[in-house]
Structure 1
Amino acid sequence: MTSADEPGPPADRQPGPGLRADAERNRERILDAARRLYASHGLGVSMACIAREAGVGKATLSRRFAGRAELINAVFADRLDAYAAAVTEALADPDPWHGFVGYVQGLCAMQAADRGFAEVLAMTFPAAKALEKRRDETYDSFLELIARAKATGRLRDDFADQDLIILLMANAGVIAATADAAPDTWRRLVGHMLRAWAAPGADLPPLDQAPAPTALYRAMVRLTRHASGPDAGPAGTSTEEPS
């Protein structure tokens, strides 16, 4: 057990530059470990597993982050910056329909690049107030993008903002199911959804090829194994409820 795990006040509240530096190093180690594990295995990774990956004790993790929601908020702060920047870029596009299509594709690509972020966009975290506030602000900008795209006549009038949430939830599931076997499957899903949302005559990017049958079969086998027993993720992963 490291000295940071000894009883007493938190290391980052004690005097002395050495102790403060140790506290900051531990915090960065925890964040790096959480980013890696969340990206590859999703948000179900336990706090104990993150502590082991970071090489710190559970007491140290608790001192740096009061709970799971606080850790998730810290890990995905930069991802939410990119999320906000994506919709700002889409609104700046002189062609609102092109901006809408590019935004949907880019957002789903962010999900595919980070399984944890895929889940962040498809779930709610009431305890992570800063994360929820930033996400809500970005979503308001998306509502403006919808209105502009509809005004072009190329986005269907019956498209609802909830349709994006449905896509993000579906995309998170596809990414988790096909991650190793057919990692580009999400592109096909997004292409079909854009076609469902487009008004007749709207220009659309080419539809990606369907995954090979053998690749989908491997994904189905993986899902079957997951349903039959513990996930093959790192020791200590769990399906904790968000705090």
Structure 2
Amino acid sequence: MTKETRARLRSDARDNRERILAVARAAFAIGGLDVPIREIARRAEVGAATVYRHFGTKEALLAAVLADQMVSCAEIVRRGLAVDDPWRGLRLVVEQLMAVHALDRGFARAVTDRMSEPSEFAPQRDRTLASLLTLVRQAKDAGSLREDFVLEDINLALLANEGIRADTPEMRLAASRRFAALMLQSFRAHPVPMPLPPAVRLPPAQG
């Protein structure tokens, strides 16, 4: 095998891996974590054996997808901390995290399931939570955030946000924005009435 042939094979393998990751990310976001490997392989136009050659198990594929999303969430919190006004920083974090969860059902469910258990994401998760806790303390010290607020209140909002059901991702995102605005009003130490984003017509809740 020539050097050029080996280089081409490595390039093809990298391309296949990136395509599988991109397809899996989109599939889990829309269909949740139950999308089977064979369906991901079909959409990526490779065989199931190729998916397993790169990732070994579905759990390994999910871990690779989640790693990218965890980095994105850490970046959201970092941007929030960089804002001069801690309340505006916290508002940015809540709004953007809820938007991410609204558009990615797989990520929302996986993070919720793994938050309280040891995982390969623990170091990244712990750093992000520590940064978020710093932002919360700053907002309380500034008198903007109610004193009895705890980090679990953000998790509670994200869990409720996950329950939004809409006909399209755009409608789900619009509904999430309104819900985020309502949650932020409840988090403020001294709520100031602000116009809410437009309401979205959603299916009736199932009993």
Distance of 2:110 and 2:42 partners within structure 1? 23
CA distance in 1, matches of 2:20, 2:8: 18
Q: Secondary structure at the match of 1:155?
A: coil
Structure of higher RCO (CA pairs closer than 8 Å, 6+ residues apart): 1
- What amino acid is the match of 1:75? V
- Whole-angstrom CA distance in 2 between matches of 1:43 and 1:179: 19
TM score, norm. by length of structure 2: 0.84
Give the aligned partner of residue 197 of structure 2: 208
Q: Structure 1 residues 21, 79: closer, same or farther in 2, change over 3 A?
A: same
- Structure 1: gaps (5+ residues): 1-14, 228-243
Instruction: Name the structure 1 match of 2:166.
Output: 178
Q: Give the C-alpha shift of residue 133 in structure 1.
A: 2.6
How does the TM-score come out when normalised to structure 1? 0.72
Matches within 5 A, 1:30-109: 30-109=20-99
User: Matches of 1:95 and 1:127 in 2, distance apart?
Assistant: 34
Could you tell me how far apart the structure 2 residues matched to 1:204 and 1:22 are? 56
Q: Distance in 2 between matches of 1:60 and 1:119?
A: 26
Q: Distance in 2 between matches of 1:119 and 1:30?
A: 21
Q: What is the identity, as a one-letter code, of the residue corresponding to 2:8?
A: G
Measured after TM superposition, the shift of residue 121 of structure 1 is 3.7
Q: 2-side partners of 1:52 and 1:24: how far apart?
A: 18
AA aligned to 1:99 is G
1:215-226 residue pairs with structure 2 within 5 A?
Answer: 215-216=201-202, 219-220=203-204
Q: Check the 8 A contact 1:73/1:128 in 2, yes or no.
A: no
Q: Which of 136, 145, 149 is matched with 2:135 structurally? A: 145
Q: Quick one: structure 1 residues 205 and 84, their matched pair in 2 at CA, closer, same or farther if it must change by over 3 Å?
A: farther
Q: Distance in 1 between matches of 2:81 and 2:185?
A: 21
**Match of 1:76, SS?**
helix
Q: Which amino acid aligns with 1:167?
A: A
Work out whether residues 100 and 146 of structure 1, in 8 Å CA contact, stay in contact via their aligned partners in 2. Answer: yes
- Residues 24 and 40, structure 2, Cα contact 8 Å, conserved in 1: yes
Cα deviation, 1:20-78, whole Å, max 9, x if unaligned, reads 23322221221121122122222221222111211222221111002223212322333
- The C-alpha deviation readout for 1:178-203, integer Å capped at 9, x for no partner, is 25284211122212211221112x45
Give me the CA root mean square deviation: 2.6
Q: Give the CA deviation at 1:136.
A: 2.4
Alpha-carbon distance in 2 for matches of 1:135, 1:47: 27
List gaps (5 residues or longer) in structure 2.
none
**Which structure: greater helix fraction?**
2
